[in-house]
Amino acid sequence: MVTVSIVNVTSYTALELLRLLALHPLFVVTSVTGRSAVGKHLGDVFPQLQASPATINPALVITEEPAQTDLAFVCLPHAAAAESVLKLLDRGTKVVDLSADFRLHDVNIYEEWYKHTHPAPALLELTTYGLCELHREQITNASLVANPGCYATAAILALVPAIAAGIISPSIIIDAKSGVSGAGRTPSLTTLYDEVNENINAYSLNGHRHLPEITQELAASAPTGSSSVEGQLRVTFMPHLVPMTRGILATCYADLKQTTLTTEDVHALYEKHYANEPFVHVTDQSPHTKWSYGSNHCFIHPFIDTRTQRLVVISCLDNLVKGASGQALQNANILYDLPETTGLMAPSVYP
Amino acid sequence: MVTVSIVNVTSYTALELLRLLALHPLFVVTSVTGRSAVGKHLGDVFPQLQASPATINPALVITEEPAQTDLAFVCLPHAAAAESVLKLLDRGTKVVDLSADFRLHDVNIYEEWYKHTHPAPALLELTTYGLCELHREQITNASLVANPGCYATAAILALVPAIAAGIISPSIIIDAKSGVSGAGRTPSLTTLYDEVNENINAYSLNGHRHLPEITQELAASAPTGSSSVEGQLRVTFMPHLVPMTRGILATCYADLKQTTLTTEDVHALYEKHYANEPFVHVTDQSPHTKWSYGSNHCFIHPFIDTRTQRLVVISCLDNLVKGASGQALQNANILYDLPETTGLMAPSVYP
Amino acid sequence: MVTVSIVNVTSYTALELLRLLALHPLFVVTSVTGRSAVGKHLGDVFPQLQASPATINPALVITEEPAQTDLAFVCLPHAAAAESVLKLLDRGTKVVDLSADFRLHDVNIYEEWYKHTHPAPALLELTTYGLCELHREQITNASLVANPGCYATAAILALVPAIAAGIISPSIIIDAKSGVSGAGRTPSLTTLYDEVNENINAYSLNGHRHLPEITQELAASAPTGSSSVEGQLRVTFMPHLVPMTRGILATCYADLKQTTLTTEDVHALYEKHYANEPFVHVTDQSPHTKWSYGSNHCFIHPFIDTRTQRLVVISCLDNLVKGASGQALQNANILYDLPETTGLMAPSVYP
Amino acid sequence: MVTVSIVNVTSYTALELLRLLALHPLFVVTSVTGRSAVGKHLGDVFPQLQASPATINPALVITEEPAQTDLAFVCLPHAAAAESVLKLLDRGTKVVDLSADFRLHDVNIYEEWYKHTHPAPALLELTTYGLCELHREQITNASLVANPGCYATAAILALVPAIAAGIISPSIIIDAKSGVSGAGRTPSLTTLYDEVNENINAYSLNGHRHLPEITQELAASAPTGSSSVEGQLRVTFMPHLVPMTRGILATCYADLKQTTLTTEDVHALYEKHYANEPFVHVTDQSPHTKWSYGSNHCFIHPFIDTRTQRLVVISCLDNLVKGASGQALQNANILYDLPETTGLMAPSVYP
């Protein structure tokens, strides 16, 4: 048994972790924290948990600080997360941090995008970016894993095979569409039902904070020996809010270097790239976010727009699962040398 | 290993069975039928299944008739279901029938509501109505279980404790609200997105076919020795279509016989009634259908409207799980002497 | 030209008034107030208004207190509304108050339900309850009209013909379902998209504040000479939140006094009752809230549940139009001796 | 008075025309056709119309062929539309055709995309493409106007100012998102509520039929004297289905020729271009489709993604109004020398 803390349990990512951990054979949640609900029982905040299996105890009392456990999932917003992570590491707790605080290796880029001083810049370079399909070897030996952003996961998984194979030019457009749960559980006018329902709009027009993650990982995926791709990358990332609770669809556009490539060629390239991945599926038709609802699966469809010889790659996933808590659990499985799929094989809920 | 057929796999209830069976330790789907998709692979009809665990094989070919298996779930519409069930029973296959064909013990009532001649009226009296919480002992020994209707499950579970305790008068109103998936996967104007979205309406004003199931089971729950309750029962059941995919909420109203009962009294009565039930939860606040999304749990909140001394009982469940396929699996677990919760302990997906 | 103030313009009911007044031939909005947005232009708060016709000026500056105008619509929450109304009346401004502050004639009932001392109890008895179809003669001569609650409008219009005709017993159940916009524009966890979407739940189980309005008006509609109906009325009113922005559906149940009445009889009775009403339509099929989306129309379908000899009446309307701002404008038209339909004839937006 | 026929009245575009014409001072609907509903009254097909103003008569009987009228709106699918249009023109009726049959001037392109022989190729070159903001002078003298596609309207209005000004390179990506009503009123699995709800997906990956319209109009907008832009245009157009009824958002990407242009520059250029347009609004923030819900307005926000020096233009409109029936009425107003805004000034319905 591995004891587990969930820090900031009143968030949606924490609730999703509880759902996934309920069926996990090894990890047992023994500590939950949440400043706004200190002293309440877990079942007070989430009444549906009284119907959970015994592994999630609705009578667990929410505390301000986590108890000593083997492992912690930190679901705090950035800045607050870093503080909590540093304390947990000090105690010897392994940490999967779902915030952005340790995702960027370059402290300058972090501070440019997040507008505050990082409390542990030295740690940044050492922390593993927990996109399992890219970095599972490093994760195995880590004590801190920075769980990727939801958009970043969708976009990076969509583009890495093409970039690694060197088939596209570095000018890339990522038009991404997300459900509302990515915005969290704190009420605001922009997430009010009446404002979201029957509406779509783009947001973060001046730059969304997942962009530097995407750029960092795409640049690192370029074939060695290639001229500095990072300098060349011209990525426009445009997120949109869609009237649905879960799901991200990323539609990615890039020009092909060679115009002789066919859809079959890129499909084969992607299939080979992800051949052994239990959670990444290369499809031969346009994927629907609903295929991934509630599951840890990511669906990717690459094809050539033959009129323009552009590569288009469409990827989708559930932002709360592969885009957050499912990937966090996948990372934790790796940390504990468990099969990556442990507790994560439930199919999507459809319709 | 128990081999399983799913008859009419192109329906939503069948898809939901596949989802639940994917994690079942004993039942293995080896045969799937579906007239409109004969010869196709399962993964052609439901592309998301390519991401399923090995226990559900997306390469399974859809046939017209089921292969010989130990167990079959019949997901056909009424009339067609009865035909299929009779053939399966003849072969010695155990059957859970998700249609209405064997739910009513009185053939006259069946033929009045379903407007066609029943092919096996003698079987009707013998078949078990598979509401597990009411009839689990009979189910154990059955070869055919008639899986209850979704509305009927919500309404019966809400009202049986009060009726069995003899605390309400037999004049009952059930105002029920359902998501759209109860209407199935066949497109029609009434289930078109644009017609359902931003709309609510009542339907089946002349009587919904789940009414006789409800009446049959409520009458049978009245305390023995009471005067014929069936004759007295005056149930108005009014279903409504709500713009959501899953979920049923039944708001039930009845006058109390004794006006001294308090909300605490009825809460205690209900808690006692369902004390050992893993899937029925008596709550102390108004339940939300979303608490049950994707799970087999049913939440029930009884209270007294003190201004009028009426008992109000609100129950909710996921119409595709406890209201259909989850309950079908619960029935199958009973048929095979497995713990009822086998494969059914996944928490709800929230939000 | 009649100059108009809108008090608390940052609310949804105010926004809806702007929409309706945009095409009104006589009323011109010259003053808008809103504490949280003082100094901003109307077009800053509602960017879509830059596309409005000239009659609504997006450059109008939001102030703290209303300028002197002929007419004011008060869109404040209760208590705050009463304060504002008293000041406006003092100045000689005619007022349509969309809050609950002047709806109840009995100050004790008001204070029981709203838990604060009413600042002008003497005014309560004199104020007209602005349900146009019931009280249009009184409204003509009023200086203050209390605009009814959304649920109350739907329920009262559904039940008054039956009560006035003396055909039902006084034991009534109103099961009502509402879209989210009735909860207003202030963000909260209960109106967050992720919590509302794919969910239905009952709320205000201990009594919703529209109940005393309903009781007051139903009692007053009973035929004179009948024994005190108010004392006899046993109304259970149960509101539900539905995942949609606009629309209320009220399903009302009551026992018939005479069991010989047919659906045709009650249909004829309702048709006669509303024969001259431009906004109330008696239908011969189950009405859909979507039929009223964006319009001032109310659809009512009465019928007999023949198995139980109960009268069931289903009514629906758009909670922001006939349930709030549309009815407010209808009241204002009456105040100014305009045809009631002025500015209100736009059909519903469907689908 | 101008008498009007609506051909194929059982479609959503026809229903939307009825809504808009209900308040039109000059056009009166005297004939409605619809093969599937011949002999029915209009109010049978659309029960909500019994609440319409007298100008739309719910008792109007649906016929197979249109009666003789001054003007006709043809709401048939392509191919069937052309047949009907030719008959109407023969009779001297002015026609606004909402289908695609006369949008493309080049018959070869038409036949390549629509896969059938055009019945009147000679007419194609002469017909006006009814995007009012581009071609209103030609429309004035037309007897047949080809009403543009919904996506095409959003994309062309977004891109024409930049193309006409010669500031972008001809390599363009249009990532468009649409509500479901664009798919019409005929039920299908892809428009079933359960399939659309909580889902987003791209479709028409091999090319959507609005692409040649877009290309035709963008090429024609290039400054004269420029080298053939049509040959150079490399447009990728990727439509997506979003879980909402109404609304299109087009996010358009193109590289700037000069990297010195700022967001302010392009905003000024767009404002100047659309200075006199009553229905096109250049915004200084990201537009929401909901701003246009039910109205004929189009909102456009151009800006520079400064990290990549790309021009991004986001436009939105209601696909049933400016994207179909509203624009059809705008065209009809032009045909009859009425102010373009006649009957079209109702603000959007928000929320």
DSSP codes joined into one string, C257-297? SSTT--HHHHHHHHHHHTTT-SSEEE-SS--BGGGGTTSS-
Residue A292 near residue A316 (C-beta atoms within 8 A): yes
Q: What confidence score (pLDDT) does residue B129 get? A: 98
Tokens of C223: 């035929």
DSSP-assigned states of every residue in A42-94: HHHH-GGGGGS-TTS-TTPBEESSPPP-SEEEE-PPTTHHHHHHHHHHHTT-E
Is D188 in Cβ contact with B191 (below 8 Å)? no
* Residues ≥6 apart with Cβ < 8 Å to C108: none
Measure in Å the smallest separation between the Cα of A250 and chain D Cα atoms: 10
Of chain C, the percentage scoring pLDDT greater than 70 comes to 98
Model pLDDT, residue A297: 97
pLDDT grade for D51, boundaries at 50, 70 and 90: confident
In this structure, of A37-41, B231-235, C68-72, D269-273, the range with the lowest mean pLDDT score is: B231-235
* B271, B290 Cβ separation under 8 angstroms: no
Residue in D55, D5, D292, D38 with CA at minimum distance from that of residue D157: D292
What pairs with residue A55 in β-bridges?
none
Q: Who's near D110: CB < 8 A, 6+ residues apart?
A: D101, D104, D118, D124, D212
Rounded Cα–Cα distance for residues B348 and B297 (Å): 8
Which residues of chain B, if any, have pLDDT below 70? 225-231
Q: A187, C185: Cβ pair inside 8 Å?
A: no
Parallel, antiparallel, or unpaired for β C310-317 and D2-7? Answer: unpaired
Tokens linked to A287: 């994927």
Q: Which of A180, A193, A319 to mutate to test the interface with C (most CBs of C within 10 A)?
A: A193
Q: What pLDDT does B351 receive?
A: 97
Cis ω for the linkage preceding B77 (within 30 of 0): no
Cβ contact D235–A287 (<8 Å): no
B51–A299 C-beta distance less than 8 A: yes
pLDDT recorded at residue B259: 81
What residues contact B177, with CB distance under 8 A and at least 6 apart? Answer: B200, B239, B240, B241, B242, B248, B249, B250, B251, C177, C200, C240, C242
* Nearest residue in C to A10, CA atom: C189
| Residues 292-351 (A) with a CB less than 8 A from some CB of C | none
CA–CA distance, B6 with B75 (Å, rounded to integer)? 7
Backbone torsion region of residue B207, taken as left when φ is above 0, otherwise alpha when ψ lies between -120 and 50, otherwise beta:
left
- State the DSSP code for D190: G
Among the partner-chain residues D234, D238, D312, the one whose CB lies closest to the CB of A238 is D312
For residue A108 the two structure tokens come to 């300058």
Mean pLDDT of the region A68-73: 98
Helix (H, G, I), strand (E, B) or coil at B63: strand
> C265 at the B interface (CB within 8 A)?
no
Chain D partners of B187 at a C-beta cutoff of 8 Å?
187-189, 191-192
Q: Is the pLDDT of residue A89 over 80?
A: yes
The burial class, CB within 10 Å (0-12 / 13-18 / 19+), for B25 is: exposed
Looking at residue C30, the DSSP 8-state letter turns out to be: E
Residue B311 to residues B177, B181, C309: CA-CA distances in angstroms? 19, 30, 21
Q: In this complex, is the C-beta atom of D281 within 8 Å of any C-beta atom belonging to chain C? A: yes
Amino acid at C233: L
For residues D293 and D153, what is the distance between their CA atoms, to the nearest angstrom? 16
The reply to whether residue B187 touches residue D185, judged by beta carbons under 8 angstroms, is: no
Please, which chains are in contact with D (at least 3 CB pairs closer than 8 A)? A, B, C
C15 has a chain D CB within 8 A of its CB:
yes
- Chain D, 198 to 217: residues with Cβ < 8 Å from chain B are 198
pLDDT in the model for residue D226: 60
**Quick one: DSSP state of residue B118?**
-
The chain-wide mean pLDDT, for chain D, equals 96
ipTM of model: 0.97
Residues of chain B contacting residue A181, judged by C-beta atoms under 8 Å apart: 351
In Å, how far is C244's CA from the nearest CA of chain A?
8
| 3-state per-residue secondary structure call for D98-161 | CCCCCCCCCHHHHHHHHCCCCCCHHHHHHCEECCHHHHHHHHHCCCEEECCCHHHHHHHHHHHH
Amino acid C308 reads T
B347:A15 CB<8 A? no
Residue (of D148, D199, D205) closest to D175 by Cα position: D205
Residues 132-191 in A contacting D (C-alpha not used; CB under 8 Å): 171, 173, 175, 177, 179
B244: contact with D, CB 8 A cutoff: yes
| Average pLDDT estimate for A54-58 | 85
Contact C253, C173 (CB under 8 A): yes
Given B12, B188, B193, which is nearest D196 (Cβ)?
B193
Q: Which pair of structure tokens corresponds to residue B175?
A: 């105002």
Give strand pairing partners of A311.
A254, A304
**All chains having 3 or more CB pairs closer than 8 angstroms to chain A:** B, C, D
The strand order across the sheet containing C71-74 reads C62-63, C27-33, C2-7, C71-74, C94-97, C144-146, C128-129
Mean pLDDT value across residues A97-111: 98
Residues of A in contact with C196 (CB under 8 A): 193
Q: Around Cβ C207, how many Cβ atoms within 10 Å?
A: 16
- Chain B residues within an 8 Å CB radius of C319: none
How many angstroms away from the CA of D197 is the closest CA of chain A?
7
- Residue contact B346–A297, C-beta within 8 A: no
A91 touches chain C (CB under 8 A): no
Q: How far is residue D302's CA from residue D287's CA, in Å, rounded to a whole number?
A: 10
Give chain C positions within 8 Å (CB) of D326: none
A40 Rama sector, left if φ>0, alpha if ψ -120 to 50, beta otherwise: beta
Interface with chain B: mutation pick from D44, D188, D193, highest number of B CBs within 10 Å: D193
Task: Kindly determine whether residue C197 and residue B234, on different chains, have CB atoms separated by under 8 Å.
Answer: no
- Give residue C162's pLDDT band: very low, low, confident or very high (50, 70, 90): very high
d(CA C106, CA C213): 10
Q: Assess B113–C contact: CB distance below 8 Å, yes or no.
A: no
Q: How many contacts does B have with C, using Cβ atoms within 8 A?
A: 144
Q: Cα separation of B325 and B333, whole Å?
A: 12
Strand D234-241 and strand D144-146: the pairing is unpaired
In angstroms, rounded to a whole number, what is the distance separating the alpha carbons of residues D209 and D125?
A: 18
Q: Which residues of D touch B180 (CB under 8 A)?
A: 193-194, 197
Cβ–Cβ contact D289 with C under 8 A: no
Q: Is A107 on the interface with D (CB under 8 A)?
A: no
Of the pLDDT bands very low, low, confident and very high (cuts 50, 70, 90), residue A218 is very high
Quote the mean pLDDT of chain A: 96
Q: List the single residue in D with minimal CA-CA distance to A294.
A: D198
Listed in sequence order, the DSSP H helices in A132-262 are: 132-140, 150-164, 193-196, 211-221, 229-232
**D contacts of C23 (beta carbons < 8 Å):** 345-346
Kindly tell me the sign of the dihedral angle through the C-alpha atoms of D285, D286, D290, D292.
positive
List CB contacts (< 8 A) between C197 and chain B: 244, 351
Cβ burial, residue A33 (10 Å; 0-12/13-18/19+): buried
What pLDDT score does B83 carry? 97
- Residue C31, both tokens: 């003053």
Residue with structure tokens 């929409």? Answer: C19
B60 vs B30: CA distance, rounded Å: 8
Looking at D166-284, which runs of residues are DSSP E strands? 168-178, 201-202, 234-241, 248-256, 280-282
Interface size C-D, in CB pairs within 8 Å, comes to: 106
The reply to whether D11 touches chain C by the CB within 8 Å rule is no
How far does the CA of residue B188 sit from the closest CA of chain D (Å)?
A: 5
Least confident of B48-62, D7-21, D270-284: B48-62
Asked if the Cβ–Cβ distance from A295 to B51 is below 8 Å, we say yes
Helix (H/G/I), strand (E/B), else coil: B266: helix
pLDDT digits (tens, 9 = 90+) for B138-160: 999 999 999 999 999 999 999 99
Task: Check CB contact of B197 with chain C, cutoff 8 Å.
Answer: yes
Confidence check: pLDDT of D340 > 90 = yes
pLDDT at C228 over 60: no
Of C75, C132, C150, C316, the active-site residue reads C150
User: What amino acid positions of A are annotated as catalytic residues?
Assistant: 150
Rounded to the nearest angstrom, the minimum Cα separation between D174 and chain A is 10
Strand boundaries in chain A, DSSP class E: 2-7, 27-33, 62-63, 71-74, 94-97, 128-129, 144-146, 168-178, 201-202, 234-241, 248-256, 280-282, 298-305, 310-317
**A234: burial class by Cβ within 10 Å (0-12, 13-18, 19+)?**
middle
Helix (H, G, I), strand (E, B) or coil at B98: coil
Q: Check residue D258 and give its pLDDT.
A: 87
Tell me what pLDDT residue B230 has: 53
Q: What is the mean pLDDT of residues A296-303?
A: 98
Which band of pLDDT confidence, cut at 50, 70 and 90, is reported for residue A345?
A: very high
Nearest-by-Cβ selection for B200 from C173, C201, C244:
C244
Query: What spatial distance separates the first Cα and last Cα of chain D, rounded to whole Å?
Result: 35
Looking at the predicted structure, is the pLDDT value of residue C226 above 70? no
Which helix H or strand E contains B215, and what residues bound it?
helix B211-221
For C1-59, the pLDDT digits (tens) are: 999 999 999 999 999 999 999 999 999 999 999 999 999 999 999 999 988 777 899 99
- Annotated catalytic residues of B are 150
How far apart CA A11 and CA A185 sit, in angstroms, is 6
For residue C184, which residues of chain A lie inside 8 Å, CB to CB? none
Closest CA to B307 of C172, D239, A87: C172
d(CA B307, CA C239) in angstroms, rounded, equals: 16
Pairwise CB contact (< 8 Å): D193 & B188: no
Instruction: Tell me if chain D has a CB within 8 Å of the CB of C290.
Output: yes
Condensed to tens digits (0 to 9), the pLDDT of residues B319-346 reads 999 999 999 999 999 999 999 999 999 9
Report the DSSP beta bridge partners of residue A254: A172, A311
Q: Are A245 and C189 in contact (CB < 8 Å)?
A: no
C348 near D52, Cβ under 8 Å?
Answer: no
